[in-house]
Structure 1
Amino acid sequence: MASPEPRAEHAAAALLKREARAERSRLLPPVLIGLGIVACGIAQAFLLARLLATLLGRADAGWAELAAAAVLALLMAGLGIAQERAQLAAGEAAKSRLRATAFARLLAAGPADDRAVGQKSALVVERIEAMEGYFARYLPAAMLALLGPLLVAAATSVMDLRSGLILLGCGLLVPVIQAITGIGAAQASRRQFAALQRLSGRFLDRMRGLPVLVLFNQQQAEATRLGAAADELRRRTMRVLRVAFVSAGAMELLIAVALASLAYHHGALVRGGHPEPVAALFTLLLVPAFFAPLRAFSAAYHEQLSARGAAADLAPLLDAPDPEGLLLEEVPPKVTITFQDVTLSYAPDRPPALDGLSLRAMPGETVLLTGPSGAGKTSVLRILMGFRRPDAGRVAINGRDAMLLRPAELRRLSSYVGQRAFIFHDTIRENIRFARPEADDAAVEAAARAAQVMEFAADLPQGLDTPVGEGGFGLSGGQAQRVAVARAFLRDTPLVLLDEPTAHLDPGTEAVVLDALRRLCIGRTAIVATHARVARNAFGRVLEMQAGRAGAPRMAGE
């Protein structure tokens, strides 16, 4: 059986190959421009060879050749700028596509993806940033490293066959050097990325939990642990750079060997008895042009190693199969939810979250799920939102197996209000419109009135168009929760899922939010997971859950 590391390398190689095919059309312009630069370099070398031979009294060149060489220099500079822009465009396009795909996969997985927030952030940001060099520099450099030297060697061979063979022989040693240094560089790069991911994830998670660290007086201990992780990243980064310097030094040694070989071959040029001085100078001047694409490839080779390390981490996410299932032709106006002997486990060594749960929620009915933490209330909501699949049993919507639907289709049926509403840095109006981006202003305002958002928005400087900060800065907890309820009104789905919607609210605000939630649930199927005693008295049927099972139903207030 293949070990995890070879499997990861194979998945990374497959991912890079697939993305390279997708970027083929964007990679062609920088390669063609690069070949144009090489051709200009060959022509310029020939003109300079004639000028130098004229200075030696062995040719007849003048101002025309000098002017042409200057024009070629300017042209090469312009082509270099155009090539850089084309490479940047290819890299940005690849990053944009990869980031959109990765983010979509993370959104589709939702809470089912148990990676820490910091790790997810590192995947979408650092890992995809590390892929840019592969598309912007490595792939064009790899193609030019094959075509450019061949073009220069062919031009050299036309003037002097032995000189062309010397250049080709030195060029063939470049892949050998890259292979030797690449073995260690690949491992060092992979370990560096692993250290970077650990540090990024740890830092972000600890920043989010900073109040808890301070509360338990653990800030100094955690700072020490973060320092150790940062030192590990420093050491691994220096190992990668050490291998890169060795590779660059080997490339310079090859250039020196090529120059020395050609100088020895054309030694008669110095003694004054060379039969073709222009050809001799031409071949010597072409050495930089021959090795320029190879040097660019050597410099970009480490971009490929970094990309392989990043692709190994991204492949499990990007190569995950697309969710299977049926699509809804339309959202039904009413739904009946049925759980029949449903079981769900999150880990083999933990008790089941749901253990033979059976319940039914009819259209227009609100079912309260109560019980201690860990009783399985939130697991019911996760199944109905498509974030979890039951291990056994049947979940039905209107009598049909709900698990045959794609997870995204399940989410089309429901509106969700959790414990804390996340508010984006935008206006209150746009935060409500987030639930249904195509909604017009009239629909947004109607949802705001239904959720009693207008009660506080009317006193704000710009009403619903008042901007608020990231995370709800500028709004109280109750006001932010009413914005979340307004989103549910705007979404207008037949199923409403509420998870501790009044947690962390004071009694006065809780009453306001509960009143809005009661009106939201009218005419809809609603399932509410809550500990709040006030909520138990505000809704309909109550199911007391214990260890993943539901007790006998009772009416609110009993």
Structure 2
Amino acid sequence: MPKARRGGDAASALLQREARAARGRLRVPVGLGLSQVAVGIAQAWLIAGLIATLLGFGAAGWPALGAVAALALLSAGLGVAQERALLAAGEAAKARLRGAAFERLLAQGAEDTRGVGDRAALVVDRIEALEGFLTRWLPAAALAIAGPLLVTGAAFTVDATSGAILLVAALLVPVAMAVTGIGAAQASKRQFAALDLLSGRFLDRMRGLPTLVLFRRQEAEAQALGRAAEDLRQRTMRVLRVAFLSSASMEALAAGAIACLAIRHGAILGQNHPDPAGAIFCLLLVPALFTPLRAFSQAYHERMGARGAAAELAPLLEAEAPGGLKLEEMPARLVVSFQDVRLSYDPTRPPALDGLTFRALPGETLVLAGPSGAGKSSILRLLMGFRRPDAGRISLNGQDATKLAPSELRRLSSYVGQRAHLFRGSIRENIALARPGATPAEVEAAATAARVTDFAKALPQGLETLVGEGGYGLSGGQAQRVAIARAFLRDTPLVLLDEPTAHLDPGTEAEVLDSLRRLCTGRTAIIASHSRAAQRSLGRVLEIEGGRVPGSRMAGE
């Protein structure tokens, strides 16, 4: 089967599955939309009576005018309630999709070859596009069928010919949309591809900006980003042109329906029209007829965009989770052994690990030392299940670690990197992320062990003090101690640390090292660090050069 067809089938299957999942939440907004259409029909009938009275063909008065005002307020209230219901449904759908996408990305780990920018665009932009499909297209599609049926039914009760005119106008809308929709689908797909290119390239280049400046490539990359942005602008304009064409076709049909009704009733209105109010009512039904159809037309482009987004998301969401064994119980102590382990990221470059052999015993702290690129971070990636070795054996308590599911490997360890990322929320909430089910007492104990409470006491609300995204409001050392508190709260037999005291001044580094010593006590700890202070005070030092171990020395030697 051609690749494009397989992708289209996967996208259709994903959209159908999400539509079924969202169906229950969409019943309320669809019902509110139908109620709004019914209110619009009632308004049209009352307004028709008022206009006929002004023309001398009726006897409507102030009660009818009051009823019109009341119905206007009711329609506005129904519209607000519908928007809130759709918003709630959209948030629930996005949360479900993002949870599934993050779970798949985490399960795939480094086996996913997409760049960071591409992954971010996939989880953010693609799922936002699917929200439009779920909260605008699906309700609009239902209302585009039921709404015009209500309106034409009301017109048929007054004048069969007028009802037929409105019915034909409603049936022509899908035809016009199909003609313009073919171009919209292609334009939207190309626009998403251009957006992916720009967002992924921008994020990756921002992350590597120091390197670009070092090699004097900043101007060339700025020009490349400018070309990608211009390509996105042109493709976006093409999508807008197609959208405007669709809107123009809708307005032409509405104008045609009004003209036909005006010709029919205008020809006999001056010849003792049997029902002047009914004639005006039929004319006023045109806006009520085309309101759900306009929403349907606008949402049609959401469907086209969602199909392109689903084609990108489907391979990720439908990918099988990596296999592996599950742990029956968490071991209390852990022996980590590497035996002739080899790992290569690029066949054209030297291997990251080239026959690495070492052992870390229970309760031992092993500090990995060596120049940048020696393979220290690769060891941590292997132990967290983000990479699989090309050759050799990694064992945990004598058992082959590669037979475990990657998620189980991560469950065994607590990780603290160079820079702790804190989310917008309280300090307590940021610590509790490590184990959401932890009790307040357990979070307090972890904060005390990591000496978070030492600085939290001076804050306005202690552990309840809010911090900004990225740890705004805390120093680098304070944020690092929050990360160490997370590791205390996870309470795993293996602790993995990657340059935990980098970018800290000597005084702050000493405080963080004190917290790290308490964290590593009784646990197997493997620390990658250039810091001389860490190498002197934390444990046994293992020198690594070129992915091998030329020798080792004890701390303090």
- TM bin, normalised by shorter chain, reads 0.7 to 0.9
TM-score, normalised relative to structure 2: 0.84
Contact 2:166 2:286 in 1 (8 A): yes
Give 1:315 shift: 3.1
Partner of 2:178: 179
Give 1:394 shift: 4.1
Superposed, which structure 2 residues align to 1:381-400 within 5 Å? 381-400=380-399
Once residues 458 and 74 of structure 1 are traced to their aligned partners in structure 2, the CA distance between those partners, rounded to angstroms, is: 51
Give 1:246 shift: 0.7
User: Cα deviation per residue 1:198-244 (whole Å; 9 max; x = unaligned)?
Assistant: 33344445555556666666666555444443333332222211111
Partner of 2:524: 525
Please report the RMSD computed on the Cα atoms of aligned residues, expressed in angstroms. 3.9
Give 1:298 shift: 1.0
Give 1:28 shift: 1.1
Per mean C-alpha deviation after superposition, the further-off stretch among 235-244 and 301-310 is 301-310
Q: Secondary structure at the match of 2:525?
A: strand
Q: Secondary structure at the match of 2:329?
A: coil
User: Cα deviation per residue 1:16-62 (whole Å; 9 max; x = unaligned)?
Assistant: 22222211122111211222222233334344445555566666655
Superposed, which structure 2 residues align to 1:132-531 within 5 Å? 132-208=131-207, 222-272=221-271, 274-275=273-274, 277-355=276-354, 357-423=356-422, 434-436=433-435, 457=455, 465=463, 471=470, 477=476, 480-504=479-503, 513-514=512-513, 516-531=515-530
Contact 2:107 2:321 in 1 (8 A): no
One-letter amino acid of the counterpart of residue 135, structure 1: L
Contact 1:457 1:463 in 2 (8 A): no
One-letter amino acid of the counterpart of residue 381, structure 1: L
Aligned residues: 556
Q: 1:251 to 1:453 in 2, by over 3 A?
A: closer
Structure 2 portions without partners, runs of 5+: none
Once residues 174 and 423 of structure 1 are traced to their aligned partners in structure 2, the CA distance between those partners, rounded to angstroms, is: 51
Once residues 267 and 453 of structure 1 are traced to their aligned partners in structure 2, the CA distance between those partners, rounded to angstroms, is: 81
Give 1:79 shift: 2.4
Give 1:181 shift: 1.0
Once residues 96 and 426 of structure 1 are traced to their aligned partners in structure 2, the CA distance between those partners, rounded to angstroms, is: 18
Q: Secondary structure at the match of 1:496?
A: strand
Contact 1:370 1:544 in 2 (8 A): yes
Once residues 231 and 265 of structure 1 are traced to their aligned partners in structure 2, the CA distance between those partners, rounded to angstroms, is: 51
TM-score, normalised relative to structure 1: 0.83
Partner of 2:26: 27
Contact 1:427 1:464 in 2 (8 A): no
Q: 1:11 to 1:450 in 2, by over 3 A?
A: same
One-letter amino acid of the counterpart of residue 498, structure 1: L
Per mean C-alpha deviation after superposition, the further-off stretch among 277-286 and 546-555 is 546-555
Q: Secondary structure at the match of 1:332?
A: coil
Q: Secondary structure at the match of 1:416?
A: strand
Contact 1:269 1:280 in 2 (8 A): no
Once residues 273 and 121 of structure 2 are traced to their aligned partners in structure 1, the CA distance between those partners, rounded to angstroms, is: 62
Q: Find out whether 1:99 has 2:98 as its counterpart.
A: yes
Give 1:297 shift: 0.8
Q: 1:221 to 1:524 in 2, by over 3 A?
A: same
Per mean C-alpha deviation after superposition, the further-off stretch among 231-240 and 456-465 is 456-465
One-letter amino acid of the counterpart of residue 2, structure 1: P
Give 1:145 shift: 0.6
Q: 1:270 to 1:436 in 2, by over 3 A?
A: closer
Contact 1:540 1:555 in 2 (8 A): yes
Q: 1:375 to 1:215 in 2, by over 3 A?
A: closer
Partner of 2:2: 2
User: Cα deviation per residue 1:464-509 (whole Å; 9 max; x = unaligned)?
Assistant: 6577665556666556545544543443321122323344556676
Per mean C-alpha deviation after superposition, the further-off stretch among 194-203 and 463-472 is 463-472
Contact 1:268 1:274 in 2 (8 A): no
One-letter amino acid of the counterpart of residue 132, structure 2: G
Once residues 259 and 457 of structure 2 are traced to their aligned partners in structure 1, the CA distance between those partners, rounded to angstroms, is: 83
Q: Secondary structure at the match of 1:328?
A: coil
Per mean C-alpha deviation after superposition, the further-off stretch among 402-411 and 331-340 is 402-411
Q: Secondary structure at the match of 1:23?
A: helix
One-letter amino acid of the counterpart of residue 184, structure 1: G
Once residues 44 and 473 of structure 1 are traced to their aligned partners in structure 2, the CA distance between those partners, rounded to angstroms, is: 54
Q: Find out whether 1:45 has 2:49 as its counterpart.
A: no
Per mean C-alpha deviation after superposition, the further-off stretch among 95-104 and 240-249 is 95-104
Superposed, which structure 2 residues align to 1:69-108 within 5 Å? 69-108=68-107
Give 1:335 shift: 1.4
Contact 2:455 2:478 in 1 (8 A): no
Per mean C-alpha deviation after superposition, the further-off stretch among 464-473 and 18-27 is 464-473
Contact 2:423 2:430 in 1 (8 A): yes
One-letter amino acid of the counterpart of residue 35, structure 1: L
Q: 1:68 to 1:497 in 2, by over 3 A?
A: closer
Structure 1 portions without partners, runs of 5+: none
Once residues 26 and 296 of structure 1 are traced to their aligned partners in structure 2, the CA distance between those partners, rounded to angstroms, is: 19
User: Cα deviation per residue 1:270-298 (whole Å; 9 max; x = unaligned)?
Assistant: 34154555554443332222222112211
Q: 1:365 to 1:142 in 2, by over 3 A?
A: same
Give 1:250 shift: 0.6
